[in-house]
Amino acid sequence: MVEIRHNHEKGRTSKEKSLQEQSTDSHDCQCARVLGQGNMPRQKRSSLPGINDFCRLCARNLVILGVRRRSQNLFKLTANSKPGTVLIATRLEKLLGTAPEKRSDLSETICQFCIRKLANYEQTVDKIGEWRRNIGTRTCDRTPKTTPKRTPTRKSPAPGQGKTPENAARKRELKFTPGKSPAQKQARSAQQSEQESENVDPLQNKSAETTVEVQVQFPSDKHPRLKRLDGELKSTVQQLAEGRWAAAANSLLKHKDMTAALQVKVSESIKRECNAMAAGSILGKTTPEDLQKFRMGDFGMELEARAPWLNSCLHGACGEAETSQAGLIAKCTAASVCLRVKHQNLSAIQYRNSIALLHGGAKKVAFARFNKQQICMSHRMSLQKQREFGAFKDVAVLGWKNTLEVQKESVSLLKSLHEEVVEQERVQCKAGLDTSGNSTISSADLQALDFSFKSYDVVVPPPPSLETEDDSDFDLLGVKPLDEPASPANSSAIDISAMLANIKGYREETYKVAERAIHSVAATPDSRPQDIVRQAICFIIETPLGTFQIIFDNVDFYVTPHHQSTENRPESVHWVHQYAAKDRVVTNLPSDEPLKRLKDLNLEDILPTYEVQQLLRKDYIIYVVRVLVWYLEAFRDFKKNAVWHIPHEFSAEMEQQSEQCWLGLQFKNENYNKDMADIMRKIQADYVPANVDEDGAITDLIHPILLGGDLLSEERAANIQAAFKSLDTPEERLDGMIPKNEVWHAGKNLLEIYNGKYFKPTAGADKASLCANMNVIQATNAKKGPHIAYNHYMELFMKDLHASIIYAAKKIFHLPSIDAPPESIVPDMILSGDQHTKSDWIHSRAAEIVDLVFAEDLDVVQGMSLQKPTEFKCRAEGCNRVYVRPKPRVTHELKKHNLVVSETESSPSTHMKEDHIRNYHISKLGMALLINNIHDATREGDGERLSRCFKMALLFYRCHGHTKYAHGTLLHFARSQALLPPSLAHSLVWNRFVNDKGGKGNNVPLDLNLEFKNNLLKQFLKHLGPNLNESNAARVANSIGEMAKLLQSIDTELGVRRGSGYHHKPDDTADIQRLVVQYEQANVLDFQPGREYNSFPGMDRNPISKLNMDKMLDWMRNKLKYWEALHE
């Protein structure tokens, strides 16, 4: 038995001791210590911290291991305090009603925790005051009152004789007069008077008067052993006896011997916790899927639950940031490093760090350095984990494929079920026939039930009588028809499901989809089972298919070995990189039959007709408005009226983030036909939805997919399919893929036509020409052309386009400068009008600029002019023959009038009347608007607008000798408008883009996205150096997609901001203004007959003036006939 006793001075009476204990345990003891009305325990040992090293409110030690915690002085402001900061003492006086005293035996410091509590209490007091005012009650006196028994010898003054509010206010206004008594006596008398007014005895100095004794009595002892404690253990035992655990723990930590013992015990506890965590910890889950799902917050919760001692130690090490995200990350990282020293399997965080190092291209020695510090895994283990990630490269696309197969198979399954249900109903109907001989049926009923019967003589029925029932509707067989049979009892969904389960030969997912379709039918009590199944079939057919596409392109680079020899020579590598993208725009259109036959295709559906040009003009106007309101001060008020994102039918779908799947490399060279055939066989076998047998061989193709690439890749794939056209089955003919060319390469080729037509290196002296403009703004990289320096050329292209629009606006609207105010051009009624009025006005003014391109007098080929096509009159004098097309007119003129008129012939006088410099810039502006419209339609994912643009681009390709792209563009329209089924044709038009991050205007072409992936892959492959081979390249290419997902998860959790991929360009206003000055100095839009550039003589306003439309139409017809024979 252990008994602890602590007594105060012997001279005090029991009444005084009782009063002292009540004062010690009272709720206001802490406030008394703060205000200086009580004594803080003093430390007798000189080695302990000073009085100001403790918080005055909570007595917390502010010095831990020689480092002082954050604190603040009660009576002083810090040097960096903001103006208007109030002293802590003043705030306490306002809160408690009494000012704290400044004494040498009381601390002047308050800790940061109490400062925060003070702010909370202040808010609480203010809130209570607000409640009191709102509730409308009067305040009541809550001052504690004493009884005469507790009052000491000196009593409180009688009522009316003590302090009153009036007397207190009057005394505060008086000036202080020093007394004649000594200072000590004056202070003592003031203290006595204050204590007398409160009717409470002064507190005793507890630390100087308290004694602590411990009684220990063993079972064998007759008398207890008494030991009086002094020094450090005295206060510790006293605090334990009083239940002040925090203070006792603090005292124990100050005891040197006890601290050493505690350290050993804490260390043993942490060891036991770590050993227990080794089994089943979240750190031990290191599969690729688990690493992607790993979260620091989950591990932090595990630490708190399973390793509280370790968690507390790491929390303390994190300091004030222990509850922040940074503190959580630091705690979890430190715990994982410590745990892995003994338990090597707890390596989730280390594997994540290793993947980050691999992605960053760290060398092997970097892995060794960090692995020694338990921060990452070894280089060998990191590569092994990378291979594990690569095993899951195509999980997503295989899931898309399986979903599509199941949806198609479920239709076949339900059709089989429908046949079974119809047969079952027929059997039930036969079984329900009356066999008594009293009932009869008609021949039609027998035939409907598949009964056979013998013919016999017709029995003429007797005439009807009133006594017999009406037999007027007896048939010729002399039998009476049965009454309308009751419809068979409606089979429940369970019965249909049972029949569904009896049909064998389908995968498990197919049965689930079919059953869900059956349950989705809103059946009525009168619904027959076959009707339910039929509606379920319609439900699945009307559900859009989740289709996807495969995009592939070649990856070319040069490998130089570290040690060259005859066997180990430099090698030019040509591999194929591929990825899959899920279609965002899906449809339930039919997918079995083509849209129409090619011979029924009208060429007007392919050419840029009058209606198409009207829509293009509208697109150009919208973009010109954007430029006007962005660069010209006069139109800045119209920014709200500009259309920054042209809406279309599937705008919402194109704002969604795309689902993509990296598919790694195929180590084949598509330049060789054999390798190209192997590439297509591999794609068809792995990713085309099909039915397979037990050995995995394809039995039939379910749904073809689109296979995208550049024009050369499409041409090679089409050639392989044409070569295999004579084979027996669709699988052998590789009919599971439909090759197509993508947008970016086609648009890039059109930009090369633009550069070839309007740029010549010798045109530097032709002011305001494209070459001269490059020199003015020092765009020397753009001179390499779009094929070599695409980004630099596009930057120059956009600046030149904007400068052309701005100059045209200044010229047409007579603006003195780009900074001209709105009042200089905008009428007051427009400025004060509504948004609709402003929108109409600004678009009408932009149309004046666009109409420079679509001029009425522009001589263009039929189907290209903005005006409706006119009739072709015979040019022979006196002949009034009129033709619809130009070629019959030429034939007529030659045969009847022997008249030959050269289409390119122009007289010198006509040549001199033209302003070829003006023609140059109008022609350049028109083609630039077309190219820009292609890019804008791509960003918005507008497949319909993109098709309009390529109808015009088709003529440019054909006119300027880019016959392969003309061929590819024409084939695209033949597929989208005739050859393909409606569903695939719809996907071919609309699913030509991906959106990596979601949002408006963030779409990029499928082939450009693959170029980005190729660039990233090449960066990884370059890190391999001379170790580049097919094995290492496959490891990198297969894992790059899954690693990207893991890194995205890590960055999101750690708060790391990744680059958006958008290159923030500097302000281009200065360069555009320089180009505008060039246009102004050359007066490029002023009509001056006879002008021309030396490098561009005889420039025509029509950029496709050299196109022979008759030959163009003949070429189109011949191609369509060839494809008709090939594909139909």
pLDDT of 645 reads: 95
216: left (phi over 0), alpha (psi -120 to 50) or beta: beta
pLDDT of 1066 reads: 77
Q: How far apart are CA 515 and CA 493, in angstroms?
A: 9
Q: In this structure, what are the phi and psi dihedrals at residue 367, rounded to the nearest 5 degrees?
A: -65, -40
Instruction: Say if residues 286 and 344 touch (Cβ distance below 8 Å).
Output: no
Name the DSSP letter for residue 975.
Answer: I
CB neighbour list of residue 291: distance below 8 Å, 6 or more residues apart: 285, 348, 351, 352, 355, 1046
Q: How far apart are CA 1021 and CA 1008, in angstroms?
A: 20
Q: How far apart are CA 693 and CA 404, in angstroms?
A: 18
202: left (phi over 0), alpha (psi -120 to 50) or beta: beta
**Within 13 Å, how many C-alpha atoms sit on residue 727's CB side?**
12
Residue 1033 identity (one-letter amino acid): A
Structure-derived torsion over alpha carbons of residues 94, 98, 104, 106, reported in degrees to the nearest 10:
-80
Q: How far apart are CA 776 and CA 783, in angstroms?
A: 13
CA atoms 819, 824, 828, 834: torsion sign: negative
pLDDT of 335 reads: 93
Q: In this structure, what are the phi and psi dihedrals at residue 575, rounded to the nearest 5 degrees?
A: -115, 170
pLDDT tens, position by position, 533-552 = 999 999 999 999 999 999 99
Q: Are strands 109-111 and 71-73 parallel, antiparallel or unpaired?
A: antiparallel
Which tokens belong to 556?
């070319």
Name which of 658, 684, 656, 678 is nearest 666 in CA terms: 678
Name the DSSP letter for residue 977.
Answer: I
The CA-atom distances, in angstroms, between 786 and each of 684, 801, 829 are: 35, 16, 46
Q: In this structure, what are the phi and psi dihedrals at residue 553, rounded to the nearest 5 degrees?
A: -160, 160
Residue 336 burial class via C-beta count within 10 angstroms: exposed 0-12, middle 13-18, buried 19 and up:
buried
Residue 111, annotated as binding a ligand = yes
Ranges of H-type helices in 691-834: 711-723, 743-758, 770-776, 790-813, 828-831
Which tokens belong to 566?
């005859």
> Three-state SS for 581?
strand
Return the domain boundaries, the chain: 1-130+189-254, 256-390, 395-455+473-543, 607-650+745-858+914-993+1069-1120
Low-confidence ranges of the chain (pLDDT < 70): 1-49, 65-66, 136-209, 320-323, 432-494, 855-870, 902-912, 1059-1065, 1128
Q: How far apart are CA 613 and CA 625, in angstroms?
A: 18
pLDDT of 684 reads: 94
Instruction: Say if residues 725 and 708 touch (Cβ distance below 8 Å).
Output: no
Residue 58, annotated as binding a ligand = yes
pTM: 0.71
Q: How far apart are CA 626 and CA 713, in angstroms?
A: 37
The CA-atom distances, in angstroms, between 173 and each of 163, 166, 167, 168, 169 are: 15, 11, 10, 9, 7
pLDDT of 164 reads: 59
The CA-atom distances, in angstroms, between 590 and each of 407, 533, 600 are: 14, 20, 19
pLDDT tens, position by position, 481-536 = 444 444 444 444 447 888 888 888 888 999 999 999 998 888 788 888 888 999 99
Which tokens belong to 1081?
């100095």
